[in-house]
Structures are given as C-alpha cells and as structure tokens.
C-alpha cells in the first residue's frame, strides 16, 4: 500500500533574534554564529505560545473539513509538553475541530517524537486504509541566556497529514533504527532549560547516523546513488553539513557536491527559525520541497531522525508527481518575513519568562498576541486557557 505525507505545514512565533546582533552582544565573532553554527535568525516563543498553541496553529494552516472528518488519530510529538498527564494532542484535537471519534496521544523521545508518530501512523493506515493521521512535531528549544547552547535555540511546530495515496511523499517501510542510553542532552522535570554536553551530542549524532546508515544499506542494498537528496534532523544548520561530509567521506566529490546543493535548499527555513527539536527534520524536508528545484516523480529522499538520549533512525520516501502544487511556499515565506525583531534585552527578558510554578493564576497580555490563530491567554485554577480567533 502507498502510505505517506499528504500535507505538511509549519508555524513559528512572530518574534526573532538576529544572530549577528546576538553574537555582538556575547562578544563573539558574528561569523561563528552565521557560518560556524549556520544560523541567521532564531525564533523565540512569547509566553502566549506554548507547544500546544504552536502545534494547533501549524495544524490549522493545513487542515480542511475532509481532513477533520477523516483524521482518527492525533499524534503529538514533543519534548516541551505542558502537562504530566494530559496530552497536548487532546487540546490540539479540540482547537482544530477534528471529529470526536479520533484518538489523541503525546509521544516523547527528544527530537525523535514526530518520527515515532510517523512510524505509528504508517502502521495504523496500513490496517485502516481510509484513515488519515495528524502527526505533530512541536517544541520550544531553550538553553538559557549566555549558555553554550544559546545560539542553537528556536521555537515552532510542523504538522503533517499522513494517508494512503499521499500527494507529497510516499514513505518506504525500510527503516534502520538504533537506541542507546546516553546523556548527551536532557531536561529534568524541574528545569525549564535543557542540559547538554555539546561536543558529545555532536559526536553522538554522527555516530548514530553512521550506525543506522550502514545498517540501512545492508538491509536494503541501496547506496548513496539511490538518493536524490538527504534530509537530517537540524539542531543548527552546520550539523547537517557535518552529516553530509561524514556520509560522503568515501564517495566521489561529485556525490558530495550534489547532496550539498540540495542541502542548501533544505536548510532555508531552519536557518530562520533555529532548532525546533522534534519538528526540525520535517521543517528541513518542507524547506527542500518548497525552496528546492522541482524534482522528478519517484526521486528518493533520505531522512535521518535523531533524538538525544538517544534514538536514531534512517528511512526514506519517494516524491509524488506534481508535489509542488500542494505546498504553500508564499505563505511560509510571509510567516517568516513578517516577524518582529527583538532587541537583545527584549529577547533575554522573554526567554526568562515562565508561567507561575506555584499554581497561581495568570492572565497573559501582549501586543504580539495578534499573531497566530491560537494562543494561550493564561492559567486559571490550574487549567491552561487557550483562545482560537
């Protein structure tokens, strides 16, 4: 059966930090952030945008009435969940008006959550060919002011509808996956900020990529030449470049150049948004589809998913004919171009804001609330209050 991604959209808050200005404020050579890390702008989530509202906004940008009627599973991949018990998927289900007979659940494994959602969706659709599944990857990446990870923060969500006979990308059932218990990056329940061993996390990412890529080639008999383009989890865009260099170490130079050219299209959005954790791989895929040249039907795309802690997986998909007709390039470019730049002091203040931790009520008020369709207005009697315009 032909199962895959039928629709994809994304959402990111309407405020950002310019990376050159952040570098100047941190007394760092700007080229370190723009070239060494590879980021131009970094999306910041104001208090009224959390993982639920970001995901709801991403979903609302792609869902039509037929989707709302046919979706019978909502899978919310996130490591920025807002409740230990209730899944973000339940709120998104209600805020987007999906039919009440759907199931809703949250999936967590660092940046791997949305990929787990894709795998579950594929199995579910194989058993229920008429079903549509909404898979969300939504996160707010926070390391804190003046930390090593500071230039690799970001915020945003990707929403995808998976179905049989998809219009964008057919997914192959050809994965190679790997799990190992390591401490490269984690966020204890008591902390708003992630803990990270930066250099170790980079190495772990590359080691996982190597292991699953070797395993994938053994399992499928495919080689690099079978792939038109590769997409990666993109914590910062230089990481994907390191991934291509590692994968092409023993290949002809022309192979490396070919993949590197597509890679530039695949990081166009990520450069403007930063790390959105579990949505990052899919933001990169969206970027390739929208910003890259039109690729032939049947072209094979590789996907490498990595979630610290750690789980990695390599899998692939093939493009459908006319996929460009079902994308929203102009809308996504406007979303990013119409954002407001934050001064460094505004950014620092915004990053350090958090909801009360003692159970007190809060009403959030901000000029920036006019953005998006869904936002958080506060917390009342321990219950988050979302509004849909």
The residues binding ligand HMG (CB under 6 A) are 29, 31-32, 35-37, 79, 110-111, 148-149, 151-152, 184-185, 196, 198-199, 201-202, 205, 233, 235-236, 238-239, 275, 277, 306-308
131 or 280: CB nearest ligand HMG: 280
**Which residue from 69, 59, 60 is spatially nearest to 130, judged by alpha carbons?**
69
CA distances from 48 to 140, 158, 304, 310, 324 (A): 12, 18, 32, 30, 33
CA distances from 8 to 14, 63, 323, 348 (A): 20, 10, 11, 32
151 or 378: CB nearest ligand HMG: 151
67 or 139: CB nearest ligand HMG: 139
d(CA 76, CA 107): 6
Catalytic residue among 79, 106, 290, 313: 79
- In contact, 27 and 13? CB cutoff 8 Å: no
Shortest Å distance, C-beta 148 to ligand HMG: 5
Query: Residue of minimal CB distance from ligand HMG?
Result: 36
Shortest Å distance, C-beta 283 to ligand HMG: 12
110 or 369: CB nearest ligand HMG: 110
Q: How many CB atoms lie within 10 A of CB 77?
A: 33
48 or 142: CB nearest ligand HMG: 142
Give CA angle at 75 (263, 380), nearest 5°: 115
Shortest Å distance, C-beta 233 to ligand HMG: 6
Active-site annotation holds for 150: no
- In contact, 33 and 23? CB cutoff 8 Å: yes
Shortest Å distance, C-beta 261 to ligand HMG: 19
Catalytic residue among 93, 106, 111, 290: 111
- In contact, 109 and 307? CB cutoff 8 Å: yes
Catalytic residue among 48, 93, 124, 233: 233
Shortest Å distance, C-beta 306 to ligand HMG: 5
**Which residue from 315, 231, 306 is spatially nearest to 267, judged by alpha carbons?**
231
Q: Which residues contact 49 (CB under 8 A, 6 or more apart)?
A: 13, 140, 155, 372, 375, 376
Instruction: DSSP for 157-185, please give it.
Output: EEEEEEEES-SSEEEPS--EEEE----SE
Active-site annotation holds for 79: yes
Shortest Å distance, C-beta 263 to ligand HMG: 15
Which residues are known catalytic residues? 79, 111, 233
């Amino acid at each position: 059966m032909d199962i895959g991604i039928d629709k994809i959209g994304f959402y990111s808050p309407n405020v950002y930090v310019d990376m050159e200005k952040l570098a100047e404020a941190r007394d760092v050579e700007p080229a370190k952030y723009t070239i060494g890390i590879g980021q131009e702008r970094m999306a910041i989530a104001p208090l009224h945008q959390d993982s639920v509202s970001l995901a709801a906004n991403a979903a609302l940008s792609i869902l039509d009435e037929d989707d709302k009627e046919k979706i019978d599973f909502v899978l919310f991949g996130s490591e920025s969940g807002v409740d230990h018990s209730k899944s973000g998927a339940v709120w998104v289900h209600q805020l987007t008006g999906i039919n009440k007979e759907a199931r809703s659940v949250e999936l967590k494994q660092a940046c791997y959550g949305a990929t787990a959602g894709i795998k579950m969706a594929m199995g579910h659709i194989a058993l229920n060919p008429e079903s549509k599944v909404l898979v969300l990857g939504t996160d707010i990446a926070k390391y804190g002011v003046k930390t090593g990870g500071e230039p690799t923060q970001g915020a945003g969500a990707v929403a995808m509808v998976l179905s049989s006979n998809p219009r964008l990308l057919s997914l192959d059932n050809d994965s190679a996956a790997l799990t190992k218990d390591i401490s490269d990056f984690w966020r204890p329940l008591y902390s708003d900020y992630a803990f990270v061993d930066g250099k170790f996390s980079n190495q772990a990412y590359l080691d996982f990529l190597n292991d699953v890529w070797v395993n994938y080639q053994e399992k499928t008999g495919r080689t690099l030449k079978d792939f038109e383009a590769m997409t990666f989890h993109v914590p910062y865009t230089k990481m994907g470049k390191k991934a291509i260099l590692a994968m092409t170490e023993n290949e002809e130079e022309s192979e490396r150049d070919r993949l590197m050219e597509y890679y530039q299209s695949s990081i166009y959005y990520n450069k403007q948004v930063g790390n959105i954790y579990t949505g990052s791989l899919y933001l990169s895929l969206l970027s390739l589809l929208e910003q890259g040249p039109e690729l032939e039907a049947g072209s094979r795309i590789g996907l490498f998913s990595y979630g610290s802690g750690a789980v990695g997986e390599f899998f692939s998909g093939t493009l459908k004919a006319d996929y460009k007709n079902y994308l929203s390039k102009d809308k996504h470019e406007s979303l990013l171009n119409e954002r407001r730049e934050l001064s460094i002091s505004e950014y620092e203040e915004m990053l350090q804001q958090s909801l009360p931790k003692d159970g007190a009520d809060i009403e959030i008020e901000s000029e920036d609330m006019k953005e998006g369709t869904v936002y958080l207005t506060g917390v009342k009697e321990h219950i988050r209050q979302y509004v849909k315009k």
